[in-house]
């Protein structure tokens, strides 16, 4: 059964809302026709990751209307699974509230919570989002009322996070906070580069020249930990201990070469909707001959506690500990062994 096949307005459905997340990695699309309204969570290429029925606008059928679904139209919720079996008026003013990670979204009708599509919603596995007007669990939506206890803190955190993040002075104060921590553990700063261009998340790179007994330069990102990474909760039981990271790399050579590794990975979790953790590897995106630390390498291994590296612990943000992952260059053979 092809459920929620289209999010493009085909088949007579009209797009009434299209809103991207702050990182440009997901778009919320709300479609409707005369009979029903549906929300989709899509990637930039149009792939639908999550979807949720929102409302019927005419009396509900007794069972699933397969003809509608096969025609690529927004589904009608069966009578037993909607709070409004006789249908309801078209939706009012719609507005999204993106989760801090950017992989999930809450949708409001006027000021009332209408639906939530979490990052782990997956239509292919029969896991739709949550809808206010849904009853029980169906392939099209799960009841929002039954999930609010778990979702409400996420929604509240998202609202307060974006209010803070868009406030005046938020980024400079965070940046100063991280730089102060690095001053304490690594010594005085050298150069600083912007690694984000015009796109969120904002990330910089700080250079820490050799200091006291340390005869190598350390480069660290500044800003990755300002927002939680997406999808961590899908893999880790205690996501709060792993959701915030910064990356570091040590070098005896020209620091500008090593800095290219941090530019490469600094925004990766949010733009690719994934996470980075201890033991993860990343394959260099370009020809191996261009790898910044030498053509004999083709990627990096990330280590939370790298031997002989400075202890970077002691920094937290948003009530959660920040982990520094050290990048270690690896060969193609070593990368293949990891997979």
Mean pLDDT of 133-162: 96
261-266 long-range contacts, CB within 8 A, separation 24+: 261/292, 261/293, 261/300, 261/327, 262/195, 262/205, 262/219, 262/220, 262/221, 262/327, 263/193, 263/195, 263/205, 265/300, 265/327, 266/195, 266/196, 266/203, 266/205, 266/221, 266/223, 266/224
* Residue pair 124/93 in contact by the 8 Å Cβ criterion: no
Q: What is the pLDDT of residue 10?
A: 54
Angle at 72 between CA 127 and CA 63, to 5 degrees: 65
Mean pLDDT of 222-236: 94
Of residues 248, 274, 273, the one with CA closest to residue 261: 248
Q: What is the pLDDT of residue 287?
A: 86
Q: Supply the pTM of this predicted model.
A: 0.92
Q: What is the pLDDT of residue 272?
A: 95
Confidence tier at 332 by pLDDT (50, 70, 90): confident
Of all residues in the chain, the percent with pLDDT exceeding 90 is: 81
Within 10 angstroms of residue 71's Cβ, the number of other Cβ atoms is 14
Digit-coded pLDDT (tens) for 260-271: 999 999 999 999
Digit-coded pLDDT (tens) for 12-67: 789 999 999 999 999 999 999 999 999 999 999 989 999 999 999 999 999 999 99
């Amino acid at each position: 059964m092809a459920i929620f096949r289209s999010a493009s307005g085909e088949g007579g459905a009209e797009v009434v809302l299209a809103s991207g997340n702050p990182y440009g990695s997901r778009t919320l699309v709300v479609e409707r026709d005369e009979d029903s309204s549906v929300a989709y969570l899509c990637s930039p290429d149009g792939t639908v990751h999550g979807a949720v029925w929102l409302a019927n606008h005419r009396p509900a059928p007794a069972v699933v209307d397969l003809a509608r679904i096969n025609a690529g139209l927004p589904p009608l919720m069966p009578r037993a699974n909607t709070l409004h079996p006789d249908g309801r008026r078209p939706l009012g003013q719609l507005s999204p509230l993106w989760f801090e990670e950017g992989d999930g979204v809450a949708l409001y009708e006027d000021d009332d919570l209408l639906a939530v599509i979490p990052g782990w919603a997956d239509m292919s596995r029969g896991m739709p989002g949550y809808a206010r007007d849904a009853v029980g669990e169906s392939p099209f939506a799960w009841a929002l009322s039954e999930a609010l206890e778990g979702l409400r803190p996420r929604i509240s955190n998202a609202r307060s996070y974006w209010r803070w993040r868009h406030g005046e002075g938020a980024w400079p104060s965070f940046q100063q906070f991280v730089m102060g921590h690095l001053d304490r553990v690594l010594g005085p700063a050298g150069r600083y580069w912007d690694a984000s261009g015009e796109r969120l998340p904002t990330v910089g790179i700080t250079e820490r020249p050799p200091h006291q007994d340390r005869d190598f330069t350390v480069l660290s990102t500044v800003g990755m930990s300002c927002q939680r990474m997406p999808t961590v909760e899908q893999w880790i039981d205690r996501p709060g201990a792993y959701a915030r990271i910064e990356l570091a790399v040590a070098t005896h050579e020209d620091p500008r070469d090593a800095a290219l590794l941090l530019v490469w990975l600094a925004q990766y979790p949010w733009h690719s909707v994934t996470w980075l953790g201890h033991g993860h590897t990343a394959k260099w995106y370009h020809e191996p001959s261009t790898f910044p630390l030498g053509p004999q390498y083709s990627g990096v291994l990330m280590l939370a506690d790298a031997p002989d590296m400075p202890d970077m612990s002691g920094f937290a943000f948003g009530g959660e500990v920040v982990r520094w992952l050290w990048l270690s260059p690896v060969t193609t053979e070593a990368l293949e062994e990891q997979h």
